[in-house]
Chain A
Amino acid sequence: MLFNSIDFAIFLPIVFILYWIVFPKKIRNQNILILIASYFFYGLWDWRFLFLILASTLVDFFVGIYIDRNSDNAKRKKLWLWCSVIFNLSLLGFFKYYNFFIDSFIDMFQLFGYSIKSTWTLRIILPVGISFYTFQTMSYSLDIYYKRLKPTRNFLNFATFVSFFPQLVAGPIERASNLLKQIENKRVFNYDQIVSGLKLILWGLFKKLVIADALAPIVDDIFANYASYPGSTLILGVTLFSFQVYGDFSGYTDIAIGTAKLFGVELMSNFKFPNFSRNVAEYWQRWHISLSTWFRHYIYIPLGGSRVSKLISIRNITIVFLVSGFWHGANWTFIFWGAFHAVAFIPVFLLGRNSIYKNSVVAQNTVLPSIKEFFQVLLTFGIVTFSRIFFRSESITDSFKFIKQICTNFAFEPYTHPMGYRMIDYYVLVIIFVIYEYMIRKDERNPFKFKSKIVRFIIYTLVIFLMLLFYDDGVNRSFIYFQF
């Protein structure tokens, strides 16, 4: 069930009404309702994969308890942790990476002149959201291992935490310390929280339906036919893809956070206007925050983080970015994408500028950014956008051919929309979107933060009006990050 589908538009109010009107008093009943709703929500994609979620839930529920029971026995504790890690990574490995490894193995042999027929590759469907919920359950066991968390003895609460439908299929990847605690405690009906949730849902839908979906046909066309387009069009394609993927994923996240708010649950922020980052380090503090912090807490810091020699730190950074790339998909393009970001991040780290923008935003106390900030933002956006060539291309060969085409065939030609629509509409749309995001850049949880009720109402109207203007019933409405 997609957030932007009619099914969800019917499902959500029903669950909401049952939650607050039929079962408002007992947490247990509310959690049962959420659990059933979540399994129903996920089961509409493919009910068979519900067993995977259930298996992952069972394993980490008991592993958590056993790690805690053996807290004095380091060896046993570690053993139980490995049970969780191996189980979850095996799920991921089988469903997501099995064919990749087999194909890469065959390619490697072919490189040396041996021809192997691929008889081991399997026709496996990737279960939606597997990368997200396996990481979430793993983080639970890891937190208990590192004594940051006490395990829950209530299976219902834990199962609800793992399968909580607003964030089940594409995050934010929650930590038990945040989400499980809220699930264990009584939620109270809070009018302001619900209104804030509805606003986020509206803004998320705008980003998905207007920005991502409107740009998708253009991006698809340019990347599919890159060999026949001049450099200027390819730059346009990858730039628009940057906005598309941002609109798509951050739109999804806003709807997820907004939906959770409707049930009295606060999820962590996943995006903080990454397009206004002043260096690559800041970008990673603002883009897919729940995954970045996951890697930081469970890979980078255990490896020594930055409290080791510069060389080891560089190694750690490289590992984290490579793993992050690999997490996104079983394709060399993602590994290159990760490697590219590592290369872009390391100079920032060596100059000691990786956390200088941690607590500030561009033009913190002014209306407009300084010239220096403006060019910093532009450069960072350029670097990140360039990396998207790897992210979006079908293969690594395509990525390099795409780059070569930009360099060797750089000519300016006006681009025509594949369906014949006016391109100016899309340019104006993107510019308005950037300006608006800049205006609200200080608070990602409140996209309509204007004092005047009338101004707010005008913006709601315009947002919905733009949804109607850019609605295209021929577009594939699925979310990009569902494939991960």
Chain B
Amino acid sequence: MKKLIIKIGLYFFLLLLCLEVLVRVFHLAKDAPTRYVDDYQVEKWRPNQSGYSVTGNRRQNFSEFHINKFGFNSYREFKATKENFEVALVGDSFIEGFHQNYYNSIGKKIENRIDTISVYEYGYAGYDMADQLHLISQYKDQFKYIDIVVLGLKYENDLFRDKYEVEKSRMSLESPFNRALKHCKLLVYTKSIGALKPITDFVANLKNFRKEKNRNVSPKEVDLDKEVETRIDNLNSLINLYGFNKAKFCFLLDETNTPPKFLDYLKEKNYKYIGIGEKLKESRKNTTLIYDMHWNNNGRSIVADEIVDYIKNENIQLVK
């Protein structure tokens, strides 16, 4: 028995080591850039980092990212000037675009379609409206030169807060323990493909053993009207706190997922928005990645086209 236990332990260790090497050799796991909170209390990536983002098993999606000097994934540096026509895309992981090569981002696609403009992408995974408006208010010197600001708004997981605070749960990912775990590429890979899910589910089930008994209690019915009102209140609170330039700012949202009451409110108050839901749904080709809900190249092209249409329809002089 002793021999068996020792050998199993030894083989287990050696296998883990070899698998780690294989995962690294084939670059199956994504690289994890480090995040930080800057002097303005804005959460972003540490500048000047590069690496590869991997989605799905067998590298179904493999793309390069590059964090610029300002702390966002982009092929260009942000130097807004009075002279040039600039567009800012502010949003979450869909704008951040770790699922695409950084030189083939939504911003780059827009620039390819209108060659006289520069697009700055302020995308960061998990950003909600509070993060976005806070960022703009903190860097108003930069944003004052930007001609159009497109703000990503995902109604289903946005507008839950009425003021900005640094998201501690996200920053806890930077703890020494979590950073150390990210160095184990085998762990990162197995987690990303869902192979660790049965284990985490099992542990969670054990923890929630008592709660499970009460699971059959029917959830309270959600009052949709009230929910929309709360979201509108939060939006107003954020706008009051951080400001909102209706002439320059517009929302980028999926109108098919957003309650009509919320859309009516935006229209009533003259908030502009670009609806991308219909176009994404109309597409014959898939618009998201296989292993991930983020837009694939086709999805990003559709979104870029919609933004281009919006810019052109705004009747702004694109060359100053």
What is the bound-complex CA distance between A422 and B286, given in angstroms? 15
Q: Which residues of A sit under 8 angstroms from B194, Cβ to Cβ?
A: 471, 473
Judge whether B19 and A465 touch: CB under 8 Å: yes
Distance in angstroms from A369 CB to nearest chain B CB is 32
Min CB–CB distance A216 → chain B (angstroms): 15
Tell me the residues in window 247-306 of chain B with beta carbons closer than 8 Å to chain A beta carbons. Answer: 286, 290
Q: Does B13 count as interface, using CB distance less than 8 angstroms?
A: no
Verify if A461 is at the interface (C-beta below 8 Å from B): yes
- On whether the beta carbons of B57 and A471 are closer than 8 Å, the reply is yes
User: How distant is A192 from chain B, measured CB to nearest CB, in Å?
Assistant: 10
B7 surroundings in chain A (CB, below 8 A): 195
B15: interface (CB < 8 Å) = yes
Is the C-beta of B193 less than 8 angstroms from some C-beta in chain A?
yes
Using a CB-CB cutoff of 8 Å, which residues 367-395 of chain A contact chain B? none
Q: Does A224 contact B (CB under 8 A)?
A: no
Known: A6-B198, A6-B202, A461-B22. A468 touches B1 (CB 8 A): no
Cα A20 to Cα B1 with chains together (Å): 8
A6-B202, A421-B60 known; A473 vs B193 contact (CB < 8 Å): yes
B1 close to A21 (CB less than 8 A): yes
Contact with B along A275-311 (1 / 0, CB 8 A): 0000000000000000000000000000000000000
A472 within 8 A of B: yes
What class of interface size applies to chain B in its complex with A? 20 to 34
A419 to B4, CA, bound (A): 42
User: Which residue of the partner chain, among B1, B11, B202, contacts A460 with CB atoms under 8 Å?
Assistant: B11
Give chain A's interface secondary structure class. helix
Contacts of B220 in A (CB 8 A): none
Known A-B contacts A464-B19, A471-B194; the reply to A191 vs B60 at CB < 8 A is no
| Interchain CA distance A199-B67 in the complex, whole Å | 46
Within 8 A of B (CB), among A392-450: 419-422, 425
Residues of A within 8 A of B286 (CB): 420
A421 CA to B55 CA, complexed, in Å: 12
Residues B15 and A472 in contact, CB atoms below 8 Å apart: no
Instruction: Point out the residues of chain A lying under 8 angstroms from B207, CB to CB.
Output: none
Query: Which A residues are CB-close (under 8 A) to B211?
Result: none
Which residues of B lie under 8 Å from residue A191 when comparing CB positions?
3-4
Top-9 shortest CB links A-B: A473-B194, A6-B198, A420-B290, A461-B18, A6-B202, A471-B195, A469-B58, A465-B22, A471-B193
A146 at the binding interface (Cβ < 8 Å): no
Query: A6 to B205, alpha carbons, bound, how many Å?
Result: 12
Given A419-B290, A473-B194 in contact, is the A194-B57 Cβ separation under 8 Å?
A: no
Which residues of A sit under 8 angstroms from B22, Cβ to Cβ?
461, 465
Q: Given A7-B202, A461-B15, A468-B189, is A473 in contact with B4 using a C-beta cutoff of 8 Å?
A: no
CB pair A473 B197 closer than 8 Å: yes
Say if the beta carbon of A5 comes within 8 Å of chain B.
yes
The minimal Cβ–Cβ distance linking A344 to chain B, given in whole angstroms, is 38
Q: Evaluate whether A421 and B19 lie within 8 angstroms (CB atoms) in the complex, with A191-B3, A460-B11 already known.
A: no
Q: Which of B1-31 contact A (CB under 8 A)?
A: 1, 3-4, 7-8, 11, 14-15, 18-19, 22-23, 28
How far does the alpha carbon of A232 sit from the alpha carbon of B22 in the complex, in Å?
Answer: 36
What is the number of residues of chain A that contact chain B, defined by CB distance less than 8 Å? 27
Contacts of B4 in A (CB 8 A): 191, 194-195
| Nearest CB in chain A: distance from B257 CB, A | 23
Residues from chain A with a CB closer than 8 A to the CB of B199 are: 6
> Interface code A452-480, partner B: CB below 8 Å = 1, 0 otherwise?
00000100110011001111110000000
With both beta carbons as reference points, the residue of chain A lying nearest to B189 in the complex is identified as A468
B236 located at the interface, meaning its Cβ lies under 8 Å from any Cβ of chain A in the complex: no
Can you pick out 18 interface pairs between chain A and chain B where the beta carbons lie within 8 Å of each other? A6-B198, A6-B199, A7-B202, A189-B1, A195-B4, A198-B8, A420-B286, A420-B290, A421-B58, A460-B15, A464-B19, A468-B19, A468-B57, A468-B195, A469-B57, A471-B57, A471-B195, A473-B194
Which residue of chain B has its CB nearest to the CB of A477? B198
Q: Inside 8 A of B1's CB, which chain A residues have their CB?
A: 20-21, 189
- Measured between beta carbons, the chain B residues less than 8 angstroms from A457 are 11, 14, 18
Complex contacts, B23 vs chain A, CB 8 Å: 468
Nearest residue in B to A17 (C-beta to C-beta)?
Answer: B1
Q: A457-B14, A464-B15 are in contact. Are A472 and B57 (CB under 8 A)?
A: yes
Beta-carbon contact of A421 and B202 below 8 Å = no
Collect the chain A residues with CB atoms within 8 Å of residue B190's CB.
468
CB distance from A460 to the nearest CB of B (A): 7
User: Would A473 and B15 count as touching, CB distance under 8 A?
Assistant: no
Smallest CB separation, B208 vs chain A (Å) = 16
Q: Which residues of the partner chain B approach A471 to less than 8 Å between Cβ atoms?
A: 57, 193-195
Contact between chains at A461 and B3 (CB < 8 Å): no
